[in-house]
Chains A and B, each alone.
Chain A
């Protein structure tokens, strides 16, 4: 089944403890992206990647890192999580330029 898989679905962690949210797609998509969703703010882009080893900042990149070593994987890294990073995170991928995104199921992160 064609899909974007994120793990974990839920995560509660403490301030400052490094964590990684994994994202993998099996559709051979070029574009991948990370968004966070907060009430009243919609979906805000954190980072995006146009292809392997090509990444760029979105609207809210501070406090996050990404890497795109393989086409299928696009992990999101929080080196030192803080409570203001408590949010619902979505990974998304698209076939190429000008195609719509397919979203993963989301990761609900709570930082205490």
Chain B
């Protein structure tokens, strides 16, 4: 089955800096790659996703890139703000079957 690895496990940045979280996956058939944000004590929420026919997708301050050849994808957050502090999870699946999540990255944005 699919195996997703996520790095780093913790990330601390100054407000206004950029943050990058990287994930690798093992199954070349995976075609759907969502990212979720989980604030303390709350449920994970979808923030952006990308499909295998697209190399990059942007939504305001967040962007995701996908390299199918290398089987890795990344989340980029620019101009970070304290409210971006949360745990971020990447995931990979063949459509929604058997979606596997990374272990998570705890992002702290210092004011």
A: residues with CB less than 8 A from B are 31, 33, 35, 40-45, 48, 50, 56, 58-59, 90, 94, 96-106
How many residues belonging to B are interface residues under a CB distance threshold of 8 Å?
A: 24
- Evaluate contact between B95 and A97: CB separation under 8 angstroms: yes
Across the interface, B101 reaches (CB within 8 A) one of A44, A56, A94, namely A44
Beyond A98-B96, A105-B43, 12 additional pairs, beta carbon < 8 A: A31-B96, A35-B101, A43-B91, A44-B101, A48-B99, A50-B97, A58-B98, A59-B1, A97-B96, A101-B36, A103-B43, A106-B43
Contacts A31-B96, A48-B96, A97-B95; A102 near B46 (Cβ below 8 A)? yes
Query: Which residue of chain A lies nearest to B105 when distances are taken between CB atoms in the complex?
Result: A42
- Cβ contact within 8 Å between B99 and A90: no
A residues less than 8 Å from B44 (CB atoms) = 43, 90, 101, 103
C-alpha gap A1/B38 in the complex (Å): 21
- Tell me, rounded to whole Å, the shortest Cβ–Cβ distance linking A9 to chain B: 11
For the complex, give the distance between the alpha carbons of A105 and B38 in Å: 11
Check A43–B89 contact: CB distance below 8 A: yes
Which residues of chain B are within 8 angstroms of A56 by Cβ–Cβ distance?
97-98
Residues of B within 8 A of A105 (CB): 43
A38 to chain B, nearest CB (A): 10
Measured between beta carbons, the chain B residues less than 8 angstroms from A98 are 31-32, 51, 95-96
**With contacts A90-B43, A100-B34 known, is A33 near B89, CB below 8 A?**
no
The distance from the CB of A50 to the nearest CB of chain B, in whole angstroms, is: 7
Q: How far is the CA of A33 from the CA of B89 in the complex (A)?
A: 17
Please indicate the chain A residues that have their CB under 8 angstroms from the CB of B49 in the complex: 100
